[in-house]
Structure 1
């Protein structure tokens, strides 16, 4: 068959014919190959005929290659001419840049090697100069190097080893389902017996502390009674979650080394956040201390969000969240999605944490969705954690409470809505969400911009909440006056309503009314107002009461957050809107009881010796302590 328009390189016809009169063969697809040496194309280039005007069906792959080789075709900028002295400079500069680009990996290794060598030299120098002052930097470096060696060198070789694969396969075959079941029962009995022996010895001279154990049993019993399907409760998750809480509580509240580690972490956190005050002084000075909430507390939220966004963009936060999620998955036996979400809730807020599993939310089972929503209600964000630390709350207790609330939320969620479906998520097929920022600067800018909106919302909420609280108190006072009931307020009602809960958490009886009021502020308004009221108490709490209150208030479980969760999850998973609206109040209850469960664990483990220490959370002492933290860290580093 003859080609039509053969003189223009066989431009039409889809039939494959070889040995065309133009001397070129067609491609396998039936389209002619692009003939750069044909007269037609020479004329097209010479006469500047537009490419689309040439009657030729160009091979797509060849055109893509030519466009990538000659960017001047798609770019409005002319090709470099390299004329004159500066032209030669430009020529050699482009050559050097192209050489570096082609050997990018080599130059990256050279740069990293140079920086590593410089850091090793610096570390050696400061350790020789004053080892006691530099030891924290040394041990931190050793820990980071150990993690890098394990994950980059040891783990890939170990996982690919045939001996490891054979051992893993043998363990799966050896540990049958029946053996695994009895092994779990044995571990559960061992934990219960061990916990009973420890508490029997530890609380022998202080039996009133066991009241908190009754509180834990009460909250778990409520979860069972209100459960959607009590017969399907996975007791492994419940027992493992309580065990993780108990062990972590021992480390934070009773082990001297653990207490020291969290004190140092809290001090380090507050030391970093002090630099937000420098920005506040630069922008708002003078007079920033006269409007502390707006000009000193809120900038801490801005700065913390800024730092978290940078850590998340470079992958450090995402990597850490995945590893913590894997530990939760291993210890509790929860699914991959709910484990990663629970880990993210320790550091991120109720709107940011679900983004780590956003692509998988439409695939979640109803029980998994319940667990994810409950985790959002039971924890606070890292930025707000930093903000509350500047309001007088000890950072170590906030950090410990947020960590302990993660397994507690999973326990209550799985009690209230047990799993009856097969999960569609697994750690093998889950990919990390890297966000939408182009680079670190873009991530930081987006975080700062979003934080400004959050700060405006918080300040507006505080103004409206405070005004509404005064309005409610005025109405209640008027109604109470008609019945000869003096000083009837929302705080008074909350104090009596939540008194039994505070009592069950192990709070001393004389402080139950005060902490009950704080729980009312947390539930009916939000935890921000509750922590603010905690710092304004006319009668300061004991150290034990302050710690229990910190643990109990550390969560977004309030009615205002219901709207936030509904809007957030409905946008991320519009197909699950029916399930979301059906679960949201149940998840709110799960988050609230998770906070109470964590506070009860703290009340169970805090010894009698710490109950009598009175701690005043006024702003002056807090500012003084923050300056002490700044001075100590300045001397240390």
Structure 2
């Protein structure tokens, strides 16, 4: 029965997203079905084979090394802070952005990243039937996270149309940053974290195609490469990259502080009228039907629904800390779907982070496309997290 509910959940989520699509006739169903089959194969490979787990861990180790390199620079400037056992979010997750952007801009300068975009984008595009840049971006987010990935392709973003630009904003709701994988692994099982990362990125591609279908001509389906005369010298390039990264860090910080504080203010207002009422509790009630569609029983469904509300209203860290205390008493299926759902940045704060990133790397006019379509970003983020959790749930009982 619960397995059938899990399957029904996949159909319900996709049906709701389809109803929200303003251009239903343009939805590429062949690409969607292909991606779903591909996701099922990936999930089976990672959950059922030792080779799959080894490959994911090997790739994750490389990005852990990148973070360690970034921490060397941070420690040089803030040695006392980095020496602490617990380091603040600003230093552990945001500050490494400066080095990560610079590192990948160096790869772009020498043509390495452009080559990867072309080859990997071609492969995923062939599998899904969707455009190259979007296909690569979905894979790129698997390792870099949303804001870092957006910064790396900022030149390409500045050269595409607004409607297509919105696709990247929608997709950006469904990733995590490589800099915080270690924090996740200290709270929940590594297996489901590593499974969730690629599933979220592929589902971001799938949901974006349904929610904002855009036809891209063969002439537009290319990776933008600046002409040689547009390129600055090497040291000017990396210096500019560092400044772009620093600006992004402070913009994101401001957005996160503002949205978390706004949530606290709303809880205070609700509590004034009804004792104990919070926005988290409201969302947990709203999400309870979806929790049942994850194939969960009564008590587990309400608990996971509460985690969904906590994640959306605040962030996944608060929810993961709660789950960490309860995880030993939960059945495997509940743990699998809960961890998978929580492994992403899909919440109100992320909308601010994405808008702030667009505003820092593009013009105000282009970044306004995000402000006008906030609801699409929220629908995408929740739908991707649910779909990923439902796919994983099919394999763990």
Do the aligned partners of 1:338 and 1:372 also contact (CA within 8 Å) in 2? yes
Whole-angstrom CA distance in 2 between matches of 1:421 and 1:452? 32
Pick the aligned partner of 2:211 from 400, 406, 416: 416
Do the aligned partners of 1:238 and 1:411 also contact (CA within 8 Å) in 2? yes
Any residues of structure 2 matched to 1:195-210 within 5 Å, and which? 207-210=1-4
Whole-angstrom CA distance in 2 between matches of 1:552 and 1:519? 8
Question: Matched residue of 1:505: which SS?
Answer: coil
Do residues 501 (structure 1) and 295 (structure 2) align? Answer: no
Per the alignment, do residues 497 and 358 of structure 1 end up closer, same or farther by CA in structure 2, a change over 3 Å counting? Answer: same
Query: Higher Cα Rg: structure 1 or 2?
Result: 1
Question: Matched residue of 1:488: which SS?
Answer: coil
Q: C-alpha offsets along residues 45-75 of structure 1, whole Å, 9 cap, x if unaligned?
A: xxxxxxxxxxxxxxxxxxxxxxxxxxxxxxx
| 1:404 positional shift | 1.5
Whole-angstrom CA distance in 1 between matches of 2:265 and 2:225? 49
Match of 2:172 in 1: 376
| 1:554 positional shift | 2.9
Any residues of structure 2 matched to 1:34-45 within 5 Å, and which? none
Alignment coverage as a number of residue pairs = 388
| 1:479 positional shift | 2.9
Do residues 350 (structure 1) and 146 (structure 2) align? Answer: yes
Per the alignment, do residues 518 and 402 of structure 1 end up closer, same or farther by CA in structure 2, a change over 3 Å counting? Answer: same
| 1:251 positional shift | 1.0
Do the aligned partners of 1:548 and 1:599 also contact (CA within 8 Å) in 2? yes
Do the aligned partners of 1:310 and 1:443 also contact (CA within 8 Å) in 2? no
Whole-angstrom CA distance in 2 between matches of 1:448 and 1:583? 25
Do residues 525 (structure 1) and 318 (structure 2) align? Answer: no
| 1:332 positional shift | 0.7
Match of 1:589 in 2: 379
Do the aligned partners of 2:102 and 2:238 also contact (CA within 8 Å) in 1? no
Do the aligned partners of 2:98 and 2:242 also contact (CA within 8 Å) in 1? no
Whole-angstrom CA distance in 2 between matches of 1:388 and 1:473? 26
Any residues of structure 2 matched to 1:301-380 within 5 Å, and which? 302-303=95-96, 306=99, 309-310=102-103, 312-314=105-107, 319-361=115-157, 364-365=160-161, 368-380=164-176
Match of 1:256 in 2: 50
Q: C-alpha offsets along residues 404-435 of structure 1, whole Å, 9 cap, x if unaligned?
A: 122211211221232356364233x6327999
Match of 1:160 in 2: none
Whole-angstrom CA distance in 2 between matches of 1:590 and 1:529? 21
Do residues 572 (structure 1) and 374 (structure 2) align? Answer: no
Q: Which structure is higher in helix share?
A: 2
| 1:377 positional shift | 0.9
Whole-angstrom CA distance in 1 between matches of 2:233 and 2:67? 26
Whole-angstrom CA distance in 2 between matches of 1:333 and 1:358? 24
Do the aligned partners of 2:131 and 2:216 also contact (CA within 8 Å) in 1? no
| 1:246 positional shift | 1.1
Match of 2:340 in 1: 551
Whole-angstrom CA distance in 1 between matches of 2:305 and 2:188? 18
Whole-angstrom CA distance in 2 between matches of 1:503 and 1:435? 55
Do the aligned partners of 2:31 and 2:130 also contact (CA within 8 Å) in 1? yes
Question: Matched residue of 2:127: which SS?
Answer: helix
| 1:216 positional shift | 0.7
Any residues of structure 2 matched to 1:416-455 within 5 Å, and which? 416-420=211-215, 422=217, 424-427=219-222, 430-431=224-225, 438=235, 442=239, 449=246, 453=250
Per the alignment, do residues 410 and 263 of structure 1 end up closer, same or farther by CA in structure 2, a change over 3 Å counting? Answer: closer
Do the aligned partners of 2:120 and 2:136 also contact (CA within 8 Å) in 1? yes
Question: Which 5+ residue runs of structure 1 have no aligned equivalent?
Answer: 1-206, 482-486, 609-637
Whole-angstrom CA distance in 2 between matches of 1:237 and 1:245? 12
Pick the aligned partner of 1:598 from 365, 376, 388: 388
Pick the aligned partner of 2:200 from 396, 401, 405: 405
Whole-angstrom CA distance in 2 between matches of 1:279 and 1:355? 20
Question: Which 5+ residue runs of structure 2 have no aligned equivalent?
Answer: none
Per the alignment, do residues 584 and 536 of structure 1 end up closer, same or farther by CA in structure 2, a change over 3 Å counting? Answer: same
Per the alignment, do residues 443 and 547 of structure 1 end up closer, same or farther by CA in structure 2, a change over 3 Å counting? Answer: farther
Question: Matched residue of 1:288: which SS?
Answer: coil
Superposition RMSD in Å: 4.0
